[in-house]
Amino acid sequence: MSAIEQKTVAADEAGMRLDRWFKAHYPGLGFGRLQKLLRTGQVRVDGKRAESNTRIAKGQVIRIPPLGVELPADDKKNAKPKSTKLIADDRKAIEDMMLYEDNQVMVLNKPAGLAVQGGSGLKRHLDGMLEAFADKKGQKPRLVHRLDRETSGIILVARTRQAAQELTKAFRHRNTRKIYWTILAGVPKPHQGRISTFLARDEGEERMQIVRQGGADDAQHAVSLYSVFEKSGQKLSWVTMKPVTGRTHQLRAHAAHIGHPIIGDDKYFNIENWELPGGIQNRLHLLARRIVIPHPSGNGMIDVSAPLPPHMQQTWNLLGFDASDYDPEADDPDENIIKR
């Protein structure tokens, strides 16, 4: 069993949530295990108890007890190096995902089914693939946010530490717009709404649950906006969604909460005896469609949109929906709408 470690927070990690810091350094450590370590005081920040949502600062020291998981992501001493061919394959795959790039930022179109970060049993994931873009000092581009494995669409990647700090700051202060496209079962009423709940990890399950305020130790406030853009009778609807907060599975849990789950969602679809129309694939219909965020240089905005993935394009064709009809300015979910 490994000994207790003391790790110092780096400058580019300032402002990160403690749970995300652990996810980056110890991808094999499960969320439930981390929560237990925090509850029992085995993980501490500057000698004090902390919570999963604690924001860490440069120079703080994190106490890490023996974890019994794989090596930290940044400890490569005993790791088997990737072959030249695998690095070339990873680089080509990421170049094929590229929607925008400059010397500070990469905007990728992540395909459904590709995990963003490593975990139990995962050998290939986006974070690992980014090693193909490491510089001469071995520093690779940094993920700024995450998407669920089966969600497709926009992922923002910082090419420098400074860019990562600035982009993370923009997310933390909500100086960004993220628009998602989805197909929901049924048609939400009203056609525009604001969903506000508390979310907590469902014990023993890889999903989130709606709880009352204070109903769980890890309960976090989550707010989403939605707007129905087009519908197919009363069976299905094309809906744009905007996460005001950034909680795990937030849009998926919120869609199910209002009685209109996302089709193809194997964790949250909760309508009994509901049949998927013929010709539509039973895969998660959730696309991170668009991101608008200040450029980390301070000059201008990054505004990038992702195309529909093949399984969603097939659904659009079958339902007679036309992505070119969408007006992003007129139909961006509005903060000043009915609460739900």
- Please calculate the CA angle 139-145-148 and round it to the nearest 5 degrees: 120
Count Cβ atoms within 10 A of the Cβ of residue 330 and give its class: 0-12 exposed, 13-18 middle, 19 or more buried. exposed
Residue of 224, 227, 276 whose CA lies nearest to 248: 224
- Please calculate the CA angle 241-296-332 and round it to the nearest 5 degrees: 20
Annotation says 148 is catalytic: yes
Query: Which three-class secondary structure state does DSSP give residue 136?
Result: coil
- Please answer whether residues 285 and 151 qualify as being in contact, where contact means their C-beta atoms are separated by less than 8 angstroms: no
Report CA-CA distances (Å) from 194 to 187, 198, 256, 265: 15, 13, 14, 21
d(CA 190, CA 338): 8
Q: Which of 90, 148, 218, 265 is the catalytic position?
A: 148
Residue with tokens 């923002």: 156
Query: Which three-class secondary structure state does DSSP give residue 143?
Result: strand
Count Cβ atoms within 10 A of the Cβ of residue 339 and give its class: 0-12 exposed, 13-18 middle, 19 or more buried. exposed
- Which amino acids are annotated catalytic? 148
